[in-house]
A and B are shown apart, each in its own frame.
Chain A
Amino acid sequence: MRDDIIAVFVLIFGRAPEQFGDDTAPANVEGWDSVRHVELVVALEERFGCMFEPDEVPELTSLARIEDILRRHG
Chain B
Amino acid sequence: MELIDYPTLKLLWWLLVGVLLVGFAVMDGHDMGVGTLLPFVGRSDIERRVIINTVGPHWDGNQVWFITGGGAIFAAWPLVYATAFSGFYWAMLLVLWALFFRPVGFDYRSKIDNPRWRSTWDWGLFIGGFVPPVVFGIAFGNLLQGVPFRFDANLVSHYEGSFWQLLNPFGLLCGVVSSAMITCHGAVYLAHRTEGVIQARAARAAQACALVTLAAFSVAGLWLARGIDGYVITSALDAAALPDPLAKTVAVVPGAWLANYARTPAAMLVPVAGYLGFVLALLLVRGGRTFAAFWCSALGMAGVIGTAAVSMFPFVMPSSLDPAASLTVWDSVSSHRTLFIMLVATVIFMPIIILYTRWAYSVMRGKVTAAYVKENSHSAY
The answer on A and B forming one complex is no
